[in-house]
Amino acid sequence: FFFKQKTAYEIPKRDWSSDVCSSDLLDVITIKNIDKSGTVVGQWQAVGLFTSVAYNESVRQIPLLRHKVAETLKRAGFAPGSHNGKNLVTILEHFPRDELLQVDQDLLFDIAMGILNLQERQRIALFMRPDTFRRFISCLVYVPRDIYTTDLRRRFQTIIEQSLNGPVTQFYTQISDSVLARLHFIVQTDQLKFPEVEPKAIETKLIEAARSWRDHLSQALIEAKGEEKGLSILDRYADAFASGYRERFPGQAAVSDIDRVEEVLATKQIAMNLYTPLDAEGDDVHFKVFNPGKPIPLSDVLPMLENMGLKVLEEIPFRVRPKGTDTKVWIQDFSMRLKAGGQVPVSRVRQAFHDAFRRAWSGETENDGFNRLILGAGLVWREVVILRAYAKYLRQTGFTFSQTYIEDALSDHPEITRLLVKLFKTRFDPADRKDAEVRANGIAVEIEHALDAVTNLDQDRILSRFVKDRKSTRLNSSHVSESRMPSSA
């Protein structure tokens, strides 16, 4: 009844020779004393450190290990001189010696055969052994040597610590002539809250962490475009993105960006994407602008975004150079937040925002504070043109309030603003004249009730002027068939 363990007690330097590190863990050999009835009545313990001979001697020369190795080879059923037999012996010779001393026979066989199978199908594999006394978990990780890096080891360590809810107190790395590198982590555990060990689930996380950005992009492209087209796009874009982009965005995010880069290359015009990152903080929203040749000057784009009611927090540019073209496409990622606060309903306003930005960028519409109504009131750019036209008309008739003040009044009362647009469409839409007058009167009543809640007198006057003298602006039915909304509206 023999077993070996590692104790957590540190070795005092004064009690040992100078070649012993004070942080080394003691080896403890325990022999149970059992009486004739089979009851444990005591135990003997030998505490100390194994000499280097125990670690460097062949496993076939150490009695306890010799029996374990022989039993493992017997269960495997390989002929002593066969290829698999020799490989299995090599695996056991290079197996972590402390692990070999402590592991039970069944688990040793499973781990050894698992390692043997890795020789033919090189992949990341995890083998775990819980401590008999539930004080730690030993984790052996095998990874193809070609992809091993110190950064990858750190990522593996983080995953294992999080999965087992304990710190890695020791780790060992072995890189030899083998096609596989070996990592050995010792994870400290709480005896009273010993974690549920799920090797396959943790192994899956390790495999995912080891996949390169190109691997993720390849998978995402195949899923989105099909294998043939996806691999063709991968060949064109695998090395197109700068390292800064790859560090900031996953391969899945690059798929939609590739579509927009292709759009830019085909049209030579800007493309864009309003989105919310998965790791966005608070109410932050992001806006990517894609431009051929060179980045858009910040002095051109920032006023447009600010006029749309946004505060720009950060801008990061990325260069993209697809294979087979000399044209570079610049992606500028703007981190933004609503000036008025609150969350942007991206899925609902994305297209309207894109259209409004494109029209303002091309000069088809004005770049002013009325564009705040795109996000603030949920309008589209044509509806904003209607309100802008009314405001300019009021200014021409001697209305005393400035355009900025009118913009503020409409932005501060988005529900009334939407009713004003609805009233205009109801009055003048030539395609929907059935009961138009009755419906318009109903909307006007809604506006009047909504105006009762406006506490600012000046803003009440501004909003009221948008519906004042309604009768003079009505179209009688004889003119409806000839009416058309202006092309700019």
pLDDT tens digits along 242-253: 999 999 999 999
Residue 329 burial (CB < 10 Å; 0-12/13-18/19+)? Answer: buried
Q: Does the pLDDT of residue 9 top 70, yes or no?
A: no
pLDDT tens digits along 113-172: 999 999 888 899 999 999 888 889 999 999 999 999 999 999 999 999 999 999 999 999
Rounded Cα distance between 419 and 445, Å, is 10
Q: Does the pLDDT of residue 372 top 70, yes or no?
A: yes
Are 102 and 3 a contacting pair, CB within 8 Å? yes
Rounded Cα distance between 253 and 259, Å, is 11
Lowest average pLDDT, out of 182-186, 369-373, 478-482, goes to 478-482
pLDDT of residue 122: 86
Distance set, CA 429 to CA 384, 447, 481 (Å)? 16, 19, 10
Counts for the chain of helices (H) and strands (E), in that order: 21, 11
Nearest residue to 5 via CA among 53, 43, 42: 43
Report the largest interatomic distance among the alpha carbons of the chain, rounded to a whole angstrom.
Answer: 117
pLDDT tens digits along 281-301: 789 999 999 999 999 999 999
Are 91 and 176 a contacting pair, CB within 8 Å? no
Alpha-helical segments (H) within 27-62: 52-56
pLDDT-derived band at 425 (thresholds 50, 70, 90) equals very high
Distance set, CA 237 to CA 111, 272, 279 (Å)? 40, 19, 25
Lowest average pLDDT, out of 272-276, 318-322, 456-460, 478-482, goes to 478-482
H-helix or E-strand spanning residue 6: strand 2-10
Q: Does the pLDDT of residue 2 top 80, yes or no?
A: no
pLDDT of residue 5: 52
3-class SS of residue 304: helix
For the whole model, what pTM was predicted?
Answer: 0.70
As a whole-number percent, the residues of the chain with pLDDT over 70 amount to 91
Q: Does the pLDDT of residue 368 top 70, yes or no?
A: yes
Give me the DSSP letters along 223-252.
HHH-HHHHHHHHHHHTTTB-HHHHHHS-HH
pLDDT tens digits along 18-49: 333 345 677 888 888 899 888 988 988 888 88
**Cβ atoms within 10 Å, residue 278:** 7
Residue 404 burial (CB < 10 Å; 0-12/13-18/19+)? Answer: exposed
Supply 193's token pair. 């809250």
Rounded Cα distance between 382 and 336, Å, is 24
Backbone angles phi, psi at 80, to 5 degrees: -55, -35
Strand pairing category for 2-10 and 285-292? unpaired
Supply 469's token pair. 């003298």
Distance set, CA 86 to CA 75, 83, 245 (Å)? 15, 5, 47
Rounded Cα distance between 461 and 464, Å, is 5
Lowest average pLDDT, out of 52-56, 65-69, 87-91, 314-318, goes to 52-56
Supply 412's token pair. 């501060």
Nearest residue to 187 via CA among 239, 225, 226, 131: 131
pLDDT of residue 12: 40
